[in-house]
Structure 1
Amino acid sequence: MARVVTGSRWTAIVGYSLVGAATQLVWLNFAGVTTDAAAHYSVSESAIGWLAQVFPLLYVVLAIPCGLLLDRWFRPALLIGAWLTFAGAAVRLIGDDYSWLLAGQIVASIAQPLVLNAVTGITGRYLSPDDRPKGIAVGTASIFAGMILAFLLSAVFGSSLRPMLAASAAFCATAALVLATTLRTAGNFTPATNRLTAHNTAGPANLDPTRLGPGERGPLRIAWADPLIRRLSVLAIFPFGVFVALSTFAQALLEPAGVSSTTASTILLLNVVAGVLGSAIIPVVIARHRAESTHLALSLTFTALACFTLAIAPGVLTGFVAITLIGLLLLPALPIVLELVERRTGEAEGTAAGLIWMAGNLGGLLVAVVVGLLVDHPTAAFLVMAVIALIAVPGARSLKQPIAELQPPSPQ
C-alpha cells in the first residue's frame, strides 16, 4: 500500500498554476491574430511581434534579480508578480491604441520572472518531498496550458480584439485572487539551508558553497558556484532554443511545402497540447525511475531526428508527426530540469530556477535569430535546429553521474 503523505497543500499549486497560465496568456495574446491586430492598431506585423518579444528580452535581464527577491521574500514577491500580470493585462484596455498595448506588455513582462521562477519555491514550501516532482510537473504544464488558452481565445474572438483583451484581464484577475487566497499563510515546509552536496570539488575552494561561511552564502553565489546548476543552465539553452525557434517560424518554414497557415497553426497547437500532457506525466515517471539524464538525451536525439525529417521531407504529415513528437518529448525537459534544481538547492532555489529560465530565454532569442535569418531557406533552417539539438546530447548524457549523487526525489 502506498504511504500516505500529509502536509501537502495542493490549493497553493492550483493558485500558482492559474497565475502561471495567465503570464503565458498575456504573452501570446496576439500570436494567433497578428495580421488583424496590425490592421486594427495601424502598425506593422513586426510591431505586433514586439509585443511578445519584450517578454524573453526582459526575462534575460530580470531573471536573477527576481530569483533573489523570491529567495528573500517568497510570498510577497510571487503575489506582486501575480498582480503585476493582471495590471499589465488591464493597462492594455485603457486606450485603443498600440502605445497602451506595449505599456501593458512591458508591465506583464516584468511580472513573468517573478511567477515562473517560483515554480520550485512553491512546491518546496507547500508540498511534501514525495509530492514535489508532481507539483513541479503540474506547475510547468500549466504554463504551457496558458499558451493553449491564448490560441483558443484568438480562435474564439478572432478580430474582436477588445473583448479578447477583456477576457484575458478577467482571467488574470481571477488567477491573482485565487493565488492570494491560497497563500494567506506560509507553507508547511521550509527549504533546507543548503542541499548542495559535498562533491562540489571542481574548481577553487572559494567557489565551493559548502565551504563558505553563513554570512557569505548569498543565493546567487550558492547557485552559480554549484557545477550541476551551471551545467543544467547551459543545457537549457538548447531545448529552449529549438522550441522557441520552431514555434516562431514553423508556419513560414513549412509554407513552401504546401502547408497552409491554418494547418500550421493546428500543428503548433497539437505541439503544445502534447507538451502539456507530456509535462504533466513524463517527469513524474522519470523522477521515480531516476532516468533524467537518459530522457534528456533521448528527447534531444528524437528532436534532432524530427528536425532532420522536416528538412528532407517537409509536408503536412511529417509536420504533424515530427512537431507533435517534439512537443511530447522536449517540453517535459523543463520540469525535469527544474525538479533537479529543487532537489539540489535549498534557500537558493528561486535564483537557481532563474538561472535556468534566463539561459532558456537567451537560447530562445539566439536560436530564433539564426533560424529567422534562414527563414527563406527551410532545409537549412531545420538542419540548424537538428544540429543544435544534437550538440546538447553529450552534455545531457554526462549528467548521469552527478544526478545519481543527488538525494532521491522521494523516500524509497
Structure 2
Amino acid sequence: MARWSVIVVFALLGAVTQVLWVTYAPVTDAASQVYGVSDGAIGWLANVFPLLYVLLAIPAGMVLDRWFRGGLAAGAVLTALGAVLRLGDGYGWALLGQLVVGVAQPLVLNAITGVASRYLPPADRPTGIAIGSASTFAGLIVGFGLGAVFASPAGIRPLLLVQAALAVVVAVAVLVVLRRPAPNVAHGAVAALAAKAVAEPDGPVPTPVGGAAEPAGEPASGGIGAVREALRDPVIRRLCVLVFVPFGVFVSLTTFAQPLLEPAGVSEATAGLILVANVVAGVVGCAIVPVLASRYRVEVRFMGVALAVTALACVALAVVPGVPVGFVAVIALGFALLPALPIVLELTERRAGRAEGTATGLIWLTGNLGGLVLAAVVGLLVDHPMAAFLLLGALSLLTLPLLRVFRPTFSAIQR
C-alpha cells in the first residue's frame, strides 16, 4: 500500500504541472487586461513550457538517472515555487513563475517510468505508468475547469491563489513520501535479465542495454554515460521515431481545433467543449488501454489501431466538419491516440535499464519536437482546414508501416 501511495502522490504532482501550464489559456483576455499586455504575451506564458522541455529533457533525465529522489524532490519544490512567484504583482512575476515551473516539468514528467520501476513490482508497472500518464492529461482538464470558474479579470488573483495552494500541498506530500528510499526492487531491463539468468543458470550472463547489470538500489551511471546508453540503443531510437507523429498530431489538433473548425460553424465555446471531451476520453483510455495491451501483449496491434482511428478521424474532420462529427471524431481520437504515450513509456521502462530517466527524456523530447514541428506546419494551413486535417491523417497512415518494421523491436522488449 505504501508503494501505491507514492504513485498517487506523484500522479498529483504530474497533474499540478499541467494545471499550471494551461493556467492562462482559458482566461487569456482577462489576464491580458489584468497585466496590461497583449494576448500574444499571455500566450507565451504557456509556450515557454514546450520550449524549455526541448532544452531540458536530456539534462533532467541525466539528473534523475543519477539522483532520482533528489531530482524528483527538486521538481516538486520548483513547481511550488513557480506557482507562488506568480502571485507577484505584474506580468514579469507571472512569466518568472511560469519559467520556474517550466524548468521543473521535465524533472517531473521524465520520472513517470522511474517512479513505477522503483516502487512497483514488474507486474504492476504498466498500471503505475498508465496512472502517471493519465494524471498529466487529467491536469489539463482541471486547469481548463478552474479557468472556466475564474474567467474574469477579478478572478485571476483567486485563480493563482488556489493553484499556488494546490502546488504547495502536493509538493509537501511528495517530499514526505520521498523521505524513505524506494523498496529494493530491481527495475526495467535489469529485472527482466535477472529473471532470465535465474531461469537459465547454465547460459551466458545477460546484460542490459547500456552495459553490465547493477544490483537493485544502486545509483545509475548518470551523466553523459546515460545519454550514450540511451542514444546507442536502436530500440530506444525507434521508440522515439514512433512517437513523433502521434504526439505531433495531438498537439496540433488541441492547438488549432477552434480556428480549423470555425469555418464549419463550430463556435469557440463549442470547440472548447470538444477539446475537453477529447482529453477526458484520453484520460479514460490511458487508465484502461495500456494495462490491457501489456497484459495481452498486443502493444503493436493497439498502436496500429490507434493510428488508423486517428487517420479516419482526421479525414472525417476534413470532409464533413461540424459539431456532431467534431465531437465523435475528436473523442475517438483522444481515446485511441493518448494511450500510445504510456504504452511507449512502459516499453521504454522495460528496455532502458540504468539510462531510464534519460531514455524517458528522449521520448518526451521527440514527442514535443513532433508537436512543435507539426503545429507550425498546421499553423501555416490554418486558413485551409481541409488541407490541414488531410495532412495529419496522411502522416498517421504513413506511420503505420513503421509498426511492421518495429515488430522485432517490440518482441525484443517483452518482459
Report how far residue 15 of structure 1 moved. Answer: 1.0
Partner of 1:373: 380
Task: Give the alignment partner of residue 70 of structure 1, picking from 64, 68, 79.
Answer: 64
Distance (Å, rounded) in 2 between the aligned partners of 1:276 and 1:262:
21
User: Does the Cα contact within 8 Å between 1:89 and 1:104 map onto a contact in 2?
Assistant: yes
Q: Secondary structure at the match of 2:13?
A: helix
Partner of 1:254: 261
Unaligned runs of 5+ in 2: 194-208, 215-219
Q: Secondary structure at the match of 2:115?
A: helix
Report how far residue 161 of structure 1 moved. Answer: 0.7
Distance (Å, rounded) in 1 between the aligned partners of 2:76 and 2:306:
32
Distance (Å, rounded) in 1 between the aligned partners of 2:2 and 2:117:
10
CA pair 316-81 structure 1, distance change in 2 beyond 3 A: same
Deviations 1:249-271 (A, max 9, x none): 00111111100111100000000
Partner of 1:146: 139
Task: Give the alignment partner of residue 330 of structure 1, picking from 330, 337, 347.
Answer: 337
Q: Residue 296 in 1 paired to residue 315 in 2?
A: no
Partner of 1:26: 20
Distance (Å, rounded) in 1 between the aligned partners of 2:382 and 2:345:
32
Partner of 1:56: 50
Distance (Å, rounded) in 2 between the aligned partners of 1:90 and 1:109:
14
Deviations 1:206-234 (A, max 9, x none): xx845999989921111111111001111
Stretches of 4+ aligned residues off by more than 6 angstroms: 211-217
Aligned length: 391
TM normalised by structure 2 equals 0.90
Distance (Å, rounded) in 2 between the aligned partners of 1:379 and 1:254:
10
Taking the TM superposition and a 5 Å limit, the aligned residue runs for 1:77-92 are 77-92=71-86
Report how far residue 363 of structure 1 moved. Answer: 0.6
Q: Residue 155 in 1 paired to residue 152 in 2?
A: no
Report how far residue 158 of structure 1 moved. Answer: 1.1
Identity of aligned pairs, percent?
53
User: Does the Cα contact within 8 Å between 1:271 and 1:323 map onto a contact in 2?
Assistant: yes
Q: Residue 136 in 1 paired to residue 129 in 2?
A: yes
Partner of 2:178: 183
Deviations 1:133-172 (A, max 9, x none): 0000011101111000101101111111110011111111
Deviations 1:257-298 (A, max 9, x none): 100111100000000000001001100000011111111111
Deviations 1:313-365 (A, max 9, x none): 11000100000111101000000000000111211110000000000011101
TM normalised by structure 1 equals 0.91
Distance (Å, rounded) in 2 between the aligned partners of 1:228 and 1:118:
20
Distance (Å, rounded) in 2 between the aligned partners of 1:328 and 1:192:
27
Where is the helix percentage greater, Structure 1 or Structure 2?
2
Distance (Å, rounded) in 1 between the aligned partners of 2:115 and 2:149:
33
Taking the TM superposition and a 5 Å limit, the aligned residue runs for 1:397-408 are 397-408=404-415
Deviations 1:76-100 (A, max 9, x none): 10010011011111111011x2111
Question: Letter of the aligned partner of 1:42 in structure 2?
Answer: G
Taking the TM superposition and a 5 Å limit, the aligned residue runs for 1:146-225 are 146-159=139-152, 160-188=155-183, 189-191=185-187, 194=190, 209-210=210-211, 218-225=225-232
Deviations 1:93-114 (A, max 9, x none): 011x211111111110000000
Unaligned runs of 5+ in 1: 1-6, 198-207
Q: Secondary structure at the match of 1:99?
A: helix
Report how far residue 193 of structure 1 moved. Answer: 7.6
Question: Letter of the aligned partner of 1:130 in structure 2?
Answer: A
CA pair 128-396 structure 1, distance change in 2 beyond 3 A: same
CA pair 136-46 structure 1, distance change in 2 beyond 3 A: same
Partner of 2:288: 281
Report how far residue 196 of structure 1 moved. Answer: 9.3
User: Does the Cα contact within 8 Å between 2:281 and 2:335 map onto a contact in 1?
Assistant: yes
User: Does the Cα contact within 8 Å between 2:122 and 2:187 map onto a contact in 1?
Assistant: no
Distance (Å, rounded) in 1 between the aligned partners of 2:328 and 2:266:
14
Distance (Å, rounded) in 2 between the aligned partners of 1:363 and 1:193:
27
Question: Letter of the aligned partner of 1:128 in structure 2?
Answer: P
Partner of 1:102: 95
Distance (Å, rounded) in 2 between the aligned partners of 1:388 and 1:260:
27
Question: Letter of the aligned partner of 1:312 in structure 2?
Answer: V
Q: Residue 389 in 1 paired to residue 396 in 2?
A: yes
Distance (Å, rounded) in 2 between the aligned partners of 1:192 and 1:232:
16
Distance (Å, rounded) in 2 between the aligned partners of 1:379 and 1:56:
27
User: Does the Cα contact within 8 Å between 1:241 and 1:368 map onto a contact in 2?
Assistant: yes
Task: Give the alignment partner of residue 119 of structure 2, picking from 126, 136, 156.
Answer: 126
User: Does the Cα contact within 8 Å between 1:196 and 1:226 map onto a contact in 2?
Assistant: no
Report how far residue 175 of structure 1 moved. Answer: 1.1
Q: Residue 353 in 1 paired to residue 346 in 2?
A: no
Distance (Å, rounded) in 1 between the aligned partners of 2:191 and 2:401:
26
User: Does the Cα contact within 8 Å between 1:141 and 1:280 map onto a contact in 2?
Assistant: yes
Report how far residue 400 of structure 1 moved. Answer: 2.1
Report how far residue 126 of structure 1 moved. Answer: 0.5
Distance (Å, rounded) in 2 between the aligned partners of 1:407 and 1:54:
37
Distance (Å, rounded) in 2 between the aligned partners of 1:230 and 1:195:
21
Q: Secondary structure at the match of 1:218?
A: helix
Deviations 1:162-210 (A, max 9, x none): 100111111111111111111111111243685798xxxxxxxxxx845
